Every structure is written in C-alpha cells, then in structure tokens.
Structure 1
Amino acid sequence: MLFNYLVSNGDAHLKNFSYYRLPSGYYQLTPAYDLLNTALHVNDDNGLALDLFADDYETPSFTANAFLAYDDSLELGRRLGLPLSRVRKLLADSVGHEDKIQRLIDRSFLPEELKLRYAAVVADRRQRLRYSAATQP
C-alpha cells in the first residue's frame, strides 16, 4: 500500500493482490504486478483504489489537509497490529532513495514531459509521507 501511494498507483484494487499456497499450507503474497502511476492519466485524488480504513476513519492530519500523510500510515500499521517502530522504519525507508527512483524514471520509455510529471508526483507523495500533524509521530 505504501509503495502504491508513493507512486500514485490508483489501480491497486483487490484484484491486483494475489496469494499462493505454499506446500506447507501457508499462504504467501505473490510478487507485485500491474504497478503504474495513474496520476499521469487521471486525477486520482489520494492515489489509492482502496480506502485505508473500513470505518471511514480520518486521522486529524487527513481531516486538516485532505491528503494521506505519515499519520495515516502509522494508524494503518497500528490497526494491523504491526510494531510501530517497524512502521516508522518502513516509512523512513520509503521516503528515501530519491536518486534510485529518479534513475528508474529516467530509464523509462515515458516521454520527457511524463517523466517530469512522474518525478513531481513522487516528490509530492514523499513530502506528504514525511508530514505529521502530531507533535510526536
């Protein structure tokens, strides 16, 4: 979900997540597929096809700013029962790698104008994921 938000993949609906059953009987998430930046083609608001919270909950950050940010990801992790220290580390890692992301965009077959727009979307999402309305995230 975090990656899809970062690259504005508004096509990340439930049919784009699959599991396969291991011989042990456990299920494992399959490799990601159908990853794209829908913001290059349509206004996709927050860039996710799925709501983060089933109960229409909005963090104070979202209520104040109308965009998903650090606080929303932290709340999702909390609701999933993930250690918050791990969620914070994942968020910090996700907003990094600017050079690597830019190199991938530059190597793509997108026209130059779309490469610039793609980089701008990722930069905007990166900034959003660094933003917290809380005094101590």
Structure 2
Amino acid sequence: MKALTVCPGHLAEGFDRYCPSCTRRLFDGKRVGPQLDFDYDADSADMAENINQLSVSGVQEKLSAIIADGKVVLTPAGGQGHYIIKPAPAYKHLRFRDQIPANEHLTMQIARQVYKIPTAENGLVFFKNGEPAYITRRFDYDTNENKIKQEDFSSLAHKTSATHGRDFKYTGSYEDAAALLKTNVSAWQVQMSRFFAFVIFNYLFANGDAHLKNFSLQQTPGGDYLLAPAYDLLNTSIHVVDEDFALQGGLIPEAEYSDVYTRTGHPCRADFETFGRRIGVLPKKMTEILDLFVQEQPEVYALTDRSFLDERVKRMYKRSYQERLNRLRRDR
C-alpha cells in the first residue's frame, strides 16, 4: 500500500490514516487502521448474478466485516457484521473495474460534503496487497443491536422478478417512486424534497444504477418512516454504457418533457422543475435545491483531485460532471 497523504474517509489532506472526524463517524471513535490483514482474489470470486446493461452493483461482491483489536476483519461465521466491504468486482467487461471502489467512495463523499445529502458512513480500506476496497457502515441496526425495519422501493411497490421479470427493479418512473414515498410516509413533504435532491444528484453524477432497490424507507423509534441515507452512489458511466436514468420510465410521462428534452434526448432544469411540481415539492424549496445543483461547485473538482481514482479516471469523472452540468443548465 502506498503511503497515505489524505484521509481514506473524508479525503481531508494531511492524514496518513482516518482523520478524527471520520474515526468518530465511521468507527465510533475507535482508532482503526485502513490496512487489512488479508487479500481478496476477484478473479476467483463466485458471481452472484450476471451483469446487464445497467448494473454495476449487481456484480459486486460484498464481504461482511467487524472491528476487532483496532482492525477491520471479516465477520466470524454466525456473527453479526457491522460493516460491508465491497472489493473491485471480478467482471472483466466493466471498464476500469479496479477503480469502482474509489469511484463509489468519491461519489458518496461529494453527495455529503458538497450537496449535504445524508449518506451511509463510508471510506476506503486496503487489502494486504494494496488493492483498495469500499467500506460502508451498516445503518439498519440501532445502538442496541436491534434490526431497524427497512423496506426498499421495489418491496414497497410489490415488485419482484416473479411479478415484473428479471429487470423488476428498473421498472416504472421516478414519479411512480415518489408516489410510493407519499403513500408510505405520513410527514412526506420534507422527505419528498430529499428524494428530489437524490434524483437530481444521480442524474448530475451519471449514476445509471439508481434503481428501486437503491432507495429505502426506514422506521424511526416513533414508528414513522423516513428516507434511509443514500447508498450505492457512483458514476456508472465510467464503467458501462447506460442511459440518463436507471428507471425505464424516466422522470415523468413522455408528454410532460420540455422541448429541450424532445430535441436532445436529455433532461434540463425545466424537466426537473416539472418533476418537482408533479411530486409535490414546495416551489421555494425546489428552486433552492435546483439552484445548488446548477451552480458549478469547485469542491467537486477538489475532492476528485484528492480521491483515490487514477489520473485518467479523475479526468473522466470531471468531464462527466461538466457535461451533465451543461445539460442541466441548457434552456434551448
């Protein structure tokens, strides 16, 4: 493993391990090293499911882990893991597959640090041979080790492979998904604004795998439901050829798209304004959210430069952001 010069959690400069803030949030203040004592052979990993034209996450191995004696270790048989480790996937047809852990880590950090989107706690760890892997802390258990009730949107919609075919999690539109939120969340207005921001972020950062299973509701101690923190965020366009949106129905009904969309095939701010109105985002809040996303954010470039992506993929990541930002700003 190369000597670290930035925190492998928050990407803060001047750290050769996790920074104090990252240590507190990711490891409850425990001093944990980023170096693992074991290796992972992606080439010999069993494939859980075949890749399709949209999915990157579907071919990623997930390893359960805990913290023991200041180290991240695999969860013993029969134990309850508190972390998930995601190595680079074995599927060789993915472009730059070795960059996927750093891609997901960067995208999650941008979501939280730049756009203030609540995300699962995350960072990078490094196998014994120096290969990076993405690590995320599970958020479906409370401090007393009780399982928190959580349902993803495919479950809320009663969609399974048996009812809607192999691509069931890609069916419907984001307007349909918003209707599920409204139906299942009593105080839905604030949560709808969060969902609106999630969808814009996924478009701006080319996450073509933002399907129904990547949005979830979580039960609070009071029995209400709220949106779970964002997870599985990455720029999939670097690794696969995909569409603007993961869901086959896109944002809104075809007849509601703007002239810009009709002409170019890509949405602009006006389309997200229509989407926001149709799902019930308050006008003032909608403008505030969109203004944040259409403004070029220098910190996106700074975080990308400090990330663990290699130099070529850093350039690709920044170009992708600029291209999507220009699409979002287009008005003719």
Q: In the alignment, what sits opposite 2:242?
A: 44
Tell me the TM-score normalized by structure 2: 0.38
Q: What pairs up with 1:19-58 in 2 under 5 angstroms?
A: 19-46=217-244, 48-50=245-247, 51-53=250-252, 55-57=253-255, 58=257
1:13 CA displacement: 0.4
Q: Which structure carries more helix by proportion?
A: 1
Q: In the alignment, what sits opposite 2:292?
A: 93
Q: Whole-Å Cα distance in 2 between the matches of residues 45 and 10 of structure 1?
A: 6
Structure 2: gaps (5+ residues): 1-198
Distance 1:14 1:7, change over 3 A: same
1:132 CA displacement: 2.2
Q: Any conservation in 1 of the 2:296–2:325 contact (CA below 8 Å)?
A: no
Structure 1: gaps (5+ residues): none
Q: Any conservation in 2 of the 1:7–1:122 contact (CA below 8 Å)?
A: yes
Q: In the alignment, what sits opposite 1:6?
A: 204
Tell me the TM-score normalized by structure 1: 0.87
Q: Alignment partner of 1:19: what SS?
A: strand
Q: Which deviates the most, 84-93 or 14-23? A: 84-93
Q: Any conservation in 2 of the 1:91–1:129 contact (CA below 8 Å)?
A: no
Q: Whole-Å Cα distance in 1 between the matches of residues 224 and 324 of structure 2?
A: 34
Q: Whole-Å Cα distance in 2 between the matches of residues 26 and 61 of structure 1?
A: 40
2:279 is aligned, of 66, 80, 96, to 80
Q: Which structure carries more strand by proportion?
A: 2
Residue 283 of structure 2 corresponds to residue 103 of structure 1: no
Rg (Cα) greater in structure: 2
1:97 CA displacement: 5.1
Q: Whole-Å Cα distance in 2 between the matches of residues 15 and 45 of structure 1?
A: 18
Residue type matched to 1:107 in 2?
R
Q: Whole-Å Cα distance in 1 between the matches of residues 294 and 259 of structure 2?
A: 21
Compute the RMSD of aligned alpha carbons: 1.5
Number of equivalenced pairs: 131
Q: Whole-Å Cα distance in 1 between the matches of residues 260 and 200 of structure 2?
A: 17
Residues 69-91 of structure 1 deviation map (CA, whole Å, 9 limit, x = unaligned) = 11110010010111233212211
